[in-house]
Amino acid sequence: MAARVEACTPCHGNKGEGTSDVYFPRLAGKPAGYLYNQLLAFRSGRRKYPPMNYLLEFLPDPYLEAMAEYFATEHPPLPQPAPSEVSKDVLAQGEQLATSGDAGRNIPACVSCHGPGLTGMQPGIPGLLGLRAPYISAQLGAWRYGNRTAKSPDCMQLVAGHLTEADVTAVAAWLATRPAPANPAPVPKGTYALPFGCGSQPN
């Protein structure tokens, strides 16, 4: 399979560890179900990025499943977090949203879906570690403006719709500062209850 995913590696790294381009995410170690859902979304156009849409346009489901399984089983070390360029107050705002949410604005904490260690949960909730602030910010923006959608109920579109630009900057900056835990693997399905329905994590 390594030879078959060579088209992915210039942007995502030989083992899916990511590259120096902050807008191409790490794939390694994410749940295979999550990666497969993203490949389907790019192929169908629910997630819009022309090079990925074109690359996947004619690939069949079993091929996409094999690609997802390949990167899910790769476990290169997580990168060291880069120093943040935002103020301590902004980081504190991001930490508050990520760990406690804002019930008054119907914003759940990131940890309520992505796990206390932010490592995600099988089979469809991704970890948020090893991603850089510009990428996280861009994805939250894509959900806010409908350029990225998921299976219904599209939980992230609901969450992102309640975020302001300042919220996005803050939470993206704080998440990008998180160090790798001792075990960065996604936890098993059912380890914790999600705060609401999520099309990426079918029951």
Beta-carbon contacts of 149 under 8 Å, excluding residues fewer than 6 positions away, are 41, 46, 47, 143, 157
Task: Name the band, by pLDDT with cuts 50, 70 and 90, for residue 83.
Answer: confident
CB 152 within 8 A of CB 201: no
Q: For 98-122, how does the pLDDT look when each residue is reduced to its tens digit (9 = 90+)?
A: 999 999 999 999 999 999 999 999 9
Over 80: is that where the pLDDT of 201 sits? no
Q: For 50-82, how does the pLDDT look when each residue is reduced to its tens digit (9 = 90+)?
A: 999 999 999 999 999 999 999 999 999 998 888
Least confident of 87-96, 106-115, 129-138, 147-156: 147-156
Q: What's the rounded mean pLDDT across residues 189-195?
A: 93
What is the number of residues in the chain? 203
Give the DSSP letter of residue 70: H
